[in-house]
Every structure is written in structure tokens, then in C-alpha cells.
Structure 1
Amino acid sequence: MLTVYIVLLYGFPSSLSIAVLGSFGRPQFLWGLVLLAWWLLARLQPVQSTRSVSQPVRVALGILLIACLLSFAQAMLRGQPVDQISPAVSAVARMLSWSGVVLVAMDGIRSMGDLMSLVRRLALAGTLVAVIGLLQFITKQPIVDVLSAIPGFTANTGGIDSRGGFVRPAGTATHPLEYATAIAVALPLSIACAIIGEGGRKRARWWIPVITVTLASFLAVSRSAVIGLMIAVVAVIPGLPARFRPGVLGIVTIAFGAAMVAVPGLYGTIVGMFLGVGEDSSALSRTAALDLLPIFVASSPLFGAGIGTFLPRYYIFDNQWAQMAAEIGIIGVLSFAGLLAAAVWSAWRASRRSELEDLQVAGRCLCACVVTVGVLFALFDGLAFPISAGTAFLIVGLCAAARTVGMSDDWVSTAGMAADVDRELPPTETVPVSARVSVNRRG
């Protein structure tokens, strides 16, 4: 079910929508609601005799949903222009759809094998988006516009922009910044897959996605893509086994050199983007937005103007944190920050408690993904774009799943020791190490 969500999220243009449903017709949005309904039905079933795992992410998600609903109720009671009611309802529905993704990932993934399957598929999806972006950069063609001809669907698949004489690819995303988020998140996940491998084998081929995503980040001709890559690398390096750190840094360095040599003028363009940030219109707009933010928040500082009601006609912040402050207020911003913090804590704690190196690596790489998303959301309104928003909530769910696997690992180990105490083993009876590892891997 989650794999279908990944395919719908990454495999089709993010603006693709069922024509008759309008803003409610995006396939990944509808599938998220299916996941939520499935989770609710599962919760109504008789409780099985399984050990429950406390989840900080569940509590943080509940607080965020309550904050959004209170913001929505306050806005509706205050009265809204007719054209703001539908966007508000749509925003609440999107939040419910993303919640379905988090809840199914959190409660449905219960083994290390399932967790790594989802990590591999998400890393592969991000890599394929990066490949499409590289093809767009080379051919200067959108490529994905052929998908807009699917009967019954409509899409705005321009897909590419330009800067400094270079094409800014977007893959299947609506905007290059959404594309930058997708490939930045794919980097730590690809590194985790390369280190862990598949069944202890086939590690070498997973370094190809690492190289591909790194090249795509530099060839995206975007400050956000480069910043996302750097944040991902800085966040993931401390959590990797020491023997892999030089290799990761070497790949990033070699990929940067190869991109600069292969594309004349790219180095000057990238350096100019950062040195000229003080005169860049987009950077100045973001700075001005922060200056105006207190004015927009002053009328309703706690719950904001109302979720989904702060339309572009009022102002475009290009900063998701500022956008949330205006829409759902200080409580909403703190709730979303708490959700990301709970995700980081869950995955990091699982990696610290587990004796499995696989879970240690996967948990810390998932932490790096959350940190990367949190930083990039300060550079654009990420929740307004399907791929960046869906990826963020899916990563949060995977962090919670890592906690489930890690806590189950501890429980199995403890139960096993208790069983050994309760019964006497013959002098020759032993439990093979491989058997214990196999049990722990399955949680």
C-alpha cells in the first residue's frame, strides 16, 4: 500500500489530477485518504495480543491535527470570502491524507525487512526522479509532458525553468524547489542502502544512486538543491560507520568536480548564485516576507488566519514556516516542529538502543532526511507541493516505524533472556548467534 503511494507520488507529474475532481483529484492525495480509511478500519478490529510500542510521533501528529482543526473552525466561525472556503477544506483534507501515510507506516511496518524495503523503494524513486532531471538538463525538454495526455486527467507539466543559461530541471515535480527536496532526501536513503546492502550482499550497485543524486543536485542549478545536498551530507556523516565516511565525502567531492568539468560555466553560475544572494530578487523577497510576517500574525497569533485561507493574493512567503505561522499560528508552527522533532527522536533513539548495525544506519539516515526537510522548508512553501509534502510525512512515518522495529528488537531480546532463565538447558544445547540475529531482524 505504501509502495503504491510512492509510485503515485514520484512516478507521475505532481500536478497530474483527475479533471472532474479539481484540487481533490490528485492520485497521491486520494490514495492517502485510502490509507487513512484502511488504518481506521484496522483500529476497529479486535485487538491482537501484540506488544504495543509508545510512539511520540502519534502524539505529535494528534496535536498537529487538533491545531489545524481549531484553526479551521476559528476561520469558519469568523467568516470567510466564498473563494477561501474551498482551499481551507482542501487543506484539512490534505492534512488527513498525509496523516494516513504516517499512521500506516508507523503501525504497519513491524520488521527490519519491511522497513528497508520501503527505504530502498523511496531511495530508488528519488533516484529515478534525479535521472529524469538529468535527462531534462541534457535534452532541454520536459520529457514527462507525455503523461498529461492520459484520458480523464489534466496536468501542468512545464517541468523546466532556466537560470544563467542553464536548464533548471524539475523531474516529475511541479517546481525545481520541490525537485530539490525529493533528491536531497534520496541521498541519505541511498547511502543507507549502499551500506546495508540487500541480505548482506549487492552493496556496490547502491552507490550508483548516491552518485546520480549528487550529480543531479549540482546540475539542478538551484541554491536550494546545493544547500539540501550539503545539509543532507553534514547531517548523515556523523551517524555513519567510520569506515564509510571517507567514501561518502569522496563521492560528493568527485561528483562536484565531474559536474564542473563536464559543464563549462556551471561553476561560475553556482558560485554567483551564492555570492550574489544579496541582490537576488527571490532572496530579497524572502527577507521582506520575514519583515512583514509579524503584521500578518498579529490579528490571530495563536491559530493564525485559518488553515488554507492565506492565499497567494495576500502574500507569497516562499518559506513554509512563515506560511504556517500566518495560517495556523504559533501553536501550529510549534506542533509541526514538534512532529519533526518527535520523528528525529524516535529514529535516533531506535538507532541508539538497537544492537543491529542495519537499524543503526537506517535510523540515523532517516534522521538526516528529517533535518534536511526541516531546513529546506525554510526556503520554500514545501507543503504546497505534493512531492515535497508527501515525502516529508512519509519520512516521519518511517522514523516512527524505525522506533517500532527497535523497541521490538529490545523486547524480543529481553523475552529471549527471560525464557532462558525459566528453563534449564542441557549442557550441550546452545542458541546459534545467527538464529538470534534472524529473530532480531524480523523484530
Structure 2
Amino acid sequence: MSIAGRAAESIPAGAHTAARGRLELDGAMMLTVYIVLLIGVPSGTTISGLGGLGRPSVLWGLLLLLWWVLARLQARSPDVSPVPQPVRYLVGAFVVVVLVSFAAAILRGQPADQVSPATTALIRLASWSGVLLIAMDSVKTFADTAKLARRLALAGGAMAGLGLLQFLTGQSLLEWVSLIPGLSADGVDVATRGAFTRASGTAVHPLEYGVVVVAALPLAITTAVNRGFRSRPSARDGLWWLPVALILIASLVTVSRSAIVGLAVAVIASLPAIPVAYRWLVAVLGGVSAIAVFALVPGMFGTIVNLFAGASDDPSTQSRTAALARVPEFIASSPWIGQGLGTFLPRYYIFDNGWVLLTVELGVLGVGCLVGTVAVAIGTALWAGRHSPYADLRAASRALAASLLTIVVLFAFFDGWSFSMSAGLFFLVIGLTAAVRVVASADREPQRAVAPSVRGDLLVGATPPRATDARGILSEYERQGPR
């Protein structure tokens, strides 16, 4: 069947294959590869000779950006009603501020050891932008959304499982990576706090590990509640609760205040996305996990209590508090566009707060654009959760909003944008929040998603398939034929 001429009424972007170029064919797969490279490969692993830019996830993100550009150049959209994406404009504004700040920093003159970090920061931002754009523009169906939600939940569970093994053995279990020819690995040692090993999984720091684990929890909970987002019940549906249990236990043994705070944020933010009966199940599972950890690990309960009770005397807490008082001093010379992304090195001051450091490096405009991006991304996901008629998409959208909220809260406890794993996950989740807006928009207008005939008529009396699967819509139309 061919559709000739312009239709009398344009169809949604999510149901139009031509407008999507070639992205719809492999978008979920390409993002899955990114998840594997980002979380499965140790974060300190690089291709020898490329330095910080040799991280596999960064290189893959650059490939995704190139792929997105080529797909946009080849795309055809003669009769499409595009779905507005305010996230796209805010991210674009953020990139513009970063470029202007970089140019101003170079024109002012920089020490030799600051030029390379600033350039590297630009390239890493390009990589993260590629991930965000591919997620935003290639995930057009709920099937792809469900795949990525499941895979992020599994990645978080696997990360938590590796962290538990590190905690129990006192070893990183990653020394073998440095034996692979052509690769170099840093940060594979484990840290300790008191008598306990601080797990880091494949991350270079326990705080980055904590971000990835707890950010995956809302998706893990929602995936388990919805039986893996599969339409048919299976005897293995209960296994989806295993990542939830692993994440809950791993978060408690991280010996980290920020991870426990993130755990609380993730659980509380996840509750509105699941039925009331499952809220009690999550509460019981969390309580049982806590009791098991405190009973089987002597001294863990007292250590966690002391982390919060003695927070005012802790050097890291005092450093964060003192950092706030130094902000006016550091941004006085360039309050609007900052000092330049990547130019504020630790020798000047160490901020244990990613938002404060971003304010110093990109000024009021830069941090304002990113805060706006986060707010709009969360609002976009919640909008999709309110307007889609499908319960599974509503649940997935709210879980993505909860995951993003967890990440941005934890970035107040460490410089998350300086770590490739936490920053990459941040931009990926933002892209997925924008993607569910497209899916929900198509779900709202199933009749318009049916392909028009040559005369511009719509099928009469036909029950349209789910509007989020364009190929299914077209095949249904072909089967019934125009009337």
C-alpha cells in the first residue's frame, strides 16, 4: 500500500515512520549498548592513549550524536504533527551558555593545565547530548520505553549485586580489567570507612556508585510491580523483585549518608507510581532488608546512626557548608556565565556539591538553564503519566520522574557531573522523560494515528491498535483496507 498526497489531517509523529528516519530501527538497541558501556564497564577504564576521552561510554555517546545528526539530515516530514519538546530548547540554551563561557574563558587566558580539562568537558557534553537526543527522538513506542526501563532496572540490580560482593570480600573484583591489552584502568581499589568496605561497583567512587544504584530503584520497583511490563503473566514475574531487594540491601551497606538519603528520596518518590497494595509490599521488603543487614553485619546499625548523629562534626559536611560561603567570592568576576566548564580545578577549592560547582563554572545562566531542564523534564514525565490512557506508561513515566529527582538531589552531595557514569545516567534519564511525552501524545489520539487513505478518509468502525506502534497501525490498515 502507498499513501499518495498530503493527508487531510496530519498524523502524530509517533505514528509516522518517514519522519523518524532510521532511528526507530535501532534506537533502543543503541541505547542499550550505551547502558552496558556506561554501567557494565568499569568507569575508570579507558583506551590507552586517549586519556579521559577514551572511556567507551563517551566514545559511544559521540557516535550517537553523529548518528542523530545524519538521521536529521535525511529525515522527511511532509505531513507530521510534531510533539513539542521544551526539554530540547532548554538543553540547547544550556549548550549555548557552555560554549559562550568556554570562549570567554579562552579569551581571558587560562593556565596550560586548565585548557585541556575545559576542552575535554566540551567533548563529554557533546557525548551526553548525543545520548539525550537519541533517547528523545528514537524512542517512539512504549515497547522501546519498557525495554529501556527493564534494562536500567537490571543494570542497577547488577551494580548492587557487585557492590555486595565487594562489601563481603573486601576486594574490588575488577583487577582483571587492566590485563586486557589496549585498556588502562584506574580507581579499581576499594575504599573503607571504619571497619567496613565501601563498595563502588564499576564506578570510580562510592558516591557515584550510590547514585546509580538508588536512581535505578524507582524503575526497578515499577518494573517489578508491572511484571516486567509484559502483557502475559509468567511464573518468573517474581524474579523482577530481585533487583529491588539487591538495591535496598546494597544501599544500606554503602556506609554513605548520601546513598541513604537518596534511598529515602527514591522510595518516597516511587510510591505514587504504584498501587496502594504494592506500597505496603515495598515497605515490608525495605524493613526486612534493614533488619537482615543490621542483624547479620555487627556494628552496621551504630555506624549508620553515627553518620547522621555526628554529621555536624564530619569534615565532609563542614566542607560543604563552608563551600556555600565561598561561592560569591568565586563567581564575582563572571557571575552570569561563570569561569568556564571544567576550568575550576581542585587546587582552587574542592566543592562536594555539584550544583555549587556548576554555578561557579557556568554562572547564573548556566545553572538556571540546567535547573530549568530538570524541572521541565520532571514535569514532562508527570504530564505523560497524567494524560496517557495506559496504566503501564503512566507508571513508567512517574518512575522516570522519580529517578531523575533522586539523581539531582544526590548531586548536591558530590560533584556528579565530573563523573562519567552519574552524568551519563543523568542525561539518559532526561532523554527518556522527553520520549515518554511523544508516546503519551500518540496514546491520547488513537484515531488520528490510523493511516489515512488516498482520499484522506479515516477508517470507520475500526478499532485502532495502540498508537505507539506505528508499524502495527499501518499493517492493521493494510489488512482492513480503505473504506
Contact 2:219-2:399 at 8 Å conserved across structures: yes
Residue 392 (structure 2) aligns with: 358
Match of 2:90 in 1: 60
Trace 1:129-144 onto structure 2 (pairs within 5 A).
Answer: 129-144=159-174
In 2 relative to 1, CA 187–413 (structure 1 residues): closer, same or farther, beyond 3 Å?
Answer: farther
Would you say the 8 A contact 1:14–1:387 is kept in 2? yes
Aligned residues: 434
Give the distance between the partners of 1:60 and 1:284, measured in 2 at CA: 34
Question: Structure 2 length as normaliser, TM-score?
Answer: 0.87
CA distance in 1, matches of 2:335, 2:118: 18
Q: Which residue of 65, 78, 83 corresponds with 2:113?
A: 83
Q: Distance in 2 between matches of 1:416 and 1:27?
A: 41
Determine the C-alpha separation between the residues in 2 that align with 1:153 and 1:417: 51
Q: Indicate the larger mover: 203-212 or 170-179.
A: 203-212
Cα distance in structure 2, aligned partners of 1:81 and 1:205: 54
Q: 2:198 aligns with which of 168, 192, 195?
A: 168
Task: Identify the residue that residue 363 of structure 2 maps to in structure 1.
Answer: 329
Other-structure match for 2:469: 442
Contact 1:344–1:399 (8 Å) recurs in 2:
yes
Cα distance in 2 for partners of 1:52, 1:417 equals: 16
Letter in 1 for 2:239: R
Cα deviation, 1:270-324, whole Å, max 9, x if unaligned, reads 0000000011111111111111111101111001111110011111101000000
The gaps in structure 1 that reach 5 residues or longer are: none
The 5 Å alignment of 1:54-203 reads 54-198=84-228, 199-200=230-231, 201-202=233-234, 203=237
* Cα distance in 2, alignment partners of residues 99 and 418 from structure 1: 35
CA contact (8 A) 1:214 1:255 kept: yes
Report the residue type matching 1:131 in the other structure: G
How much is the aligned-residue C-alpha RMSD, in angstroms?
Answer: 1.8
Name the residue aligned to 1:32. Answer: 61
Q: Does 1:232 align with 2:262?
A: no
Counterpart AA for 1:376:
L
Pairs within 5 Å for 1:413-432: 413-415=447-449, 431=463
**Alpha-carbon contact 1:344-1:370 (below 8 Å) kept:** yes
Instruction: Give secondary structure in 1 for the equivalent of 2:50.
Output: helix
What is the CA distance between 1:412 and its match in structure 2?
A: 2.4
Contact persistence 2:62–2:127 (CA under 8 A): yes
Q: Deviations over 1:198-217 (max 9, x none)?
A: 42324311111111100000
- Among candidates 370, 376, 382, match of residue 410 of structure 2: 376
Q: Residue type matched to 2:100 in 1?
A: L
- How far apart are 1:441 and its partner, in Å? 5.1
Aligned amino acid, residue 63 of structure 2? V
Per-residue Cα deviation, 1:313-337 (whole angstroms, up to 9, x for no partner): 1111010000001101111111111
Aligned in 2, Cα 1:47/1:253: closer, same or farther, shift over 3 Å?
same
Paired AA for residue 95 in structure 1: L
How far off its partner does 1:238 sit? 2.0
Query: 1:412 aligns to what SS in structure 2?
Result: coil
Which protein is richer in helix relative to its size?
1
Shift of 1:197: 2.0
User: CA shift at 1:255, angstroms?
Assistant: 1.0
- Residue 255 of structure 2: aligned partner: 221
Corresponding residue for residue 277 of structure 2:
243
TM-score by length of 1: 0.94
Q: What residue in structure 2 maps to residue 23 of structure 1? A: 52
- Residues 450 and 458 of structure 2 are in contact (CA less than 8 Å); yes or no, is this contact kept in structure 1? no
Aligned residue for 1:43, secondary structure, equals helix
Q: What's the CA shift for 1:415?
A: 4.8
For 2:329, the aligned partner's letter is I
Partner secondary structure for residue 197 of structure 2: strand
In 2 relative to 1, CA 430–393 (structure 1 residues): closer, same or farther, beyond 3 Å?
Answer: closer
Deviation of the 1:372 alpha carbon:
0.4
The alpha carbon displacement at 1:258 in A equals 1.2
In the alignment, the residues of structure 2 paired with residue 308 and residue 424 of structure 1 have an alpha-carbon distance, to the nearest angstrom, of 56
- Tell me, in whole angstroms, the C-alpha distance in 1 between the residues paired with 2:194 and 2:458: 73
Find out whether 1:402 has 2:436 as its counterpart.
yes
Match of 1:302 in 2: 336
1:47 aligns with 2:76: yes
Unmatched tracts of structure 2, length 5 or more: 1-29, 471-483
Report the 3-state secondary structure (helix = DSSP H, G, I; strand = E; otherwise coil) of the residue aligned with 1:162.
Answer: strand
SS of residue matched to 1:167: strand
When residues 440 and 205 of structure 1 are mapped into structure 2, their CA distance, relative to the original with a 3 A threshold, is farther
Partner of 1:387: 421
Contact 1:9 1:28 in 2 (8 A): yes
Runs of 4+ in structure 1 deviating by more than 4 angstroms, as ranges, are: 413-419, 422-425
Amino acid at match of 1:410: R
Q: 1:416 to 1:275 in 2, by over 3 A?
A: same
| CA drift at 1:269 | 0.3
Displacement of 1:416 in angstroms is 5.7
Instruction: Indicate if the aligned counterparts of 1:142 and 1:157 stay in contact, CA closer than 8 A.
Output: no
Query: 2:315 aligned with 1:281, yes or no?
Result: yes
